[in-house]
Amino acid sequence: MKKVDVFVSGGGIAGMVAAIAFERLGLSVCCADPTTPVSSPKEKGVDLRTTAFLQPSQQFLDELGLWELFKDHATPLDIMRIADTGSSDGTNQIKVVKDFNASEISDLPFGWNIPNWLSRRALQHALDASDRIEFLANVATKQVFTRDTEARVLLSTGEILSTRLVIGADGRNSLVRQNAGISARTTHFGQKAIAFAVTHPIPHNNISTEVHRSGGPFTLVPLSDRDGQPSSAVVWMETSAEAARLIDLSSEAFETEISERSCNVLGPLKLETTRSVWPIISQIAERLNGKRIALVAEAAHVIPPIGAQGLNMGLSDIKALREIAQRADDIGASEVLEKYHLTRINDVRLRVNGISMLNRASLGTLPLLKRLRPLGIQTLHGSAPLRKGLMRLGLGLGH
Ligand SMILES: Cc1cc2nc3c(=O)[nH]c(=O)nc-3n(C[C@H](O)[C@H](O)[C@H](O)COP(=O)(O)OP(=O)(O)OC[C@H]3O[C@@H](n4cnc5c(N)ncnc54)[C@H](O)[C@@H]3O)c2cc1C
């Protein structure tokens, strides 16, 4: 039977980073995913979302020697701008605009935005370059059997592996989580996120702009220029019914809607990619550990895409797990995994609950919350300690 130190179930961005993070400790790693990695924008199934890697994630990727592969594609985010119409009646009059400027708390930008397909391509290079990592594309984890001294993993090929630690990075419906009998609490918001990229005549100046009305925020996140034109990634959150209507519109009609919904803050928007749709839920696993098992990223927690927290939380999981494991004789011992759970769970709960609350406020279905939203933004922004505290909290930095 083949033996590896670490088995990673799932080869999304989190699984790939986890594989590299443990390989860098000199360990042998096997990572399996039932799909073929897609790392070109034209291929079917490509992930057209972008990720804003916040400061701590950038530092972690740098520590792993990965930032070198990412940095040429990364667009800095210097300012987070929140604009609110305070309305749900379709008006595009912005009533409140508040800027959160990274220079108030640090010499660095808040983060750097990179298309997911480019991050995957860079990670695939790093995986291929290592002879301690075996990446199994088109292979699923079928079952995990755990004992005190090892775990055994049955793959869809029929092969069984023996390992000291199983990292569940297999997404929101994680087989590893279900196999370990770890329950998860899920909230459905009746919303979808539509993700796509646009070009626009007004430069973004490295400012990410969130425009609030009802249904959810419309967020423009800076990207590198596309054919000499300023470009941004967009995440538009809407009720499921409205998202279904929008996705069926012709490109021209959709462009009219997005320009109007963005209140023309960057001028008329031109659609540059297809539109992808993502259901919005929040979900949290009851525990982040099981016998010989650690859950990371969406296998452990899912949040609405607000404040660029999702994958950044996943990278914080991997960093914490690696730091604890590297000091231990047995990387999969129960004390190691219990410590991992205790180290991460409070931060995970805080962010899952906090972002879910923000999402409800921005959904604007409750009239009182809708009226209070602009006031809330003004209050949070108006007090310098509160404003700076909030920015540090968003980045996951100490107070
Ligand atoms: C519109 C949108 C915008 C976002 N923007 C940001 C942002 O700016 N910043 C941020 O931090 N986060 C952001 N997020 C969140 C972020 O995209 C996710 O947190 C992240 O992609 C989750 O990565 P993952 O690797 O955990 O999950 P996934 O990408 O879902 O990967 C899980 C992998 O597991 C595999 N798998 C499934 N079953 C099995 C099995 N049985 N065996 C083996 N493998 C299996 C799947 O094939 C998949 O490849 C955004 C999310 C959305 C929807």
**pLDDT score recorded for residue 131:** 95
Task: Say what angle helices 367-382 and 384-395 make with each other, to 10 degrees.
Answer: 100
Higher pLDDT, 295 or 87: 295
In one-letter notation, the amino acid at residue 224 is S
Note whether residue 108 is domain-resident. Answer: no
Give the E-state strand segments of the chain in sequence order: 2-9, 29-33, 50-54, 75-77, 79-84, 96-101, 111-115, 133-137, 141-146, 151-155, 160-168, 184-199, 207-212, 218-226, 229-239, 270-271, 276-285, 289-290, 293-295, 301-302
Task: Check if the beta carbon of residue 171 is closer than 8 Å to that of residue 298.
Answer: yes
Which atom of ligand 1 is the closest one to the Cα of 276? 1
Residue 175, ligand 1, Cβ within 6 A: yes
Q: Which residue do the tokens 């730091």 mark?
A: 323
- Cα(299) to centroid(ligand 1), Å: 9
- Asked if the structure places residue 54 within a domain, the reply is yes
Query: Is 354 a member of any domain?
Result: yes
Residue 253 has pLDDT above 90, yes or no: yes
Name the residue type at position 167: I
In short, whether 52's Cβ falls inside 6 Å of ligand 1 is yes
Angstrom distance (rounded) from CA 185 to CA 281: 10
Cβ–ligand 1 distance for 279 under 6 Å, the answer no
168 lines ligand 1 (CB under 6 A): no
| pLDDT of residue 289 exceeding 60 | yes
**Do 387 and 380 meet the contact criterion of CB atoms below 8 Å apart?**
yes
Look up the pTM and report it.
0.93
Is residue 252 pLDDT above 90, yes or no? yes
* Cα-to-centroid distance, 33 and ligand 1 (Å): 12
Whether the per-residue pLDDT at 399 is higher than 50: the answer is no
Cα separations in angstroms, 312 against 118, 180, 335? 17, 25, 25
Q: Which residue has the CA at smallest separation from atom 11 of ligand 1?
A: 311
Mean pLDDT of the chain: 90
Q: What is the DSSP string of 77-137?
A: E-EEEEEE---SSS-----EEEEEEGGGT-SS-SEEEEEHHHHHHHHHHHHHT-SSEEEEE
Hey, whose CA ends up nearest to atom 15 of ligand 1?
Answer: 310
* CB of 14 shorter than 6 A to ligand 1: yes
CA 26–ligand 1 middle distance (angstroms): 26
In a domain, residue 8? The reply is yes
In this prediction, residues 347-361 reach a mean pLDDT of 86
The tens digit of pLDDT for each residue in 303-324 reads 988 887 899 999 999 999 999 9
Phi and psi at 34, nearest 5°, equal -70, -10
Provide the domain limits for residue 58.
2-64+115-186+280-361
Pairing of strands 160-168, 2-9: parallel
Q: How far is the CA of 380 from the centre of ligand 1 (A)?
A: 31
* pLDDT band of 380, cuts 50, 70, 90: low
The answer to whether position 28 is within a domain reads yes
Cα 69 to ligand 1 centroid, rounded to whole Å? 20
Rg (alpha carbons) of the chain, rounded to whole number: 21
- Cβ of 177 closer than 6 Å to ligand 1, yes or no, is no
Total count of domains within the chain: 1
Rounded-to-integer distance, Cα 282 and Cα 356, Å: 7
Distance, CA 235 to ligand 1 centroid (Å)?
15
Confidence of residue 45 (pLDDT cuts 50, 70, 90): confident
Nearest atom within ligand 1 for CA of residue 193: 1
Phi, psi (rounded to 5 degrees) for 299: -65, -25
Mean pLDDT of the 261-266 span: 93
DSSP state of 267: B
CATH code of the domain containing 166: 3.50.50.60
For the ranges 41-45, 173-177, 228-232, 372-376, the lowest mean pLDDT is seen at: 372-376
Task: For residue range 195-242, list pLDDT tens digits in order.
Answer: 999 999 999 999 999 898 777 789 999 999 999 999 999 999 999 999
Q: Is the pLDDT of residue 118 over 80?
A: yes
Ligand 1 atom nearest 16 alpha carbon: 25
- Would you say the CB of residue 217 lies under 6 angstroms from ligand 1? no
Q: Is 183 in the pocket of ligand 1 (CB under 6 A)?
A: no
393/263: higher pLDDT: 263
> Residue 217: what pLDDT?
86
- Are 273 and 41 in contact by the 8 Å Cβ rule? The answer is yes
Cβ of residue 170 lying under 6 Å from some atom of ligand 1: yes
- Please enumerate in sequence order all residues whose Cβ is within 8 A of that of 368, keeping only pairs 6 or more positions apart, or say none: none
Q: Which of 165-179, 226-240, 346-360, 375-389 has the lowest mean pLDDT?
A: 375-389
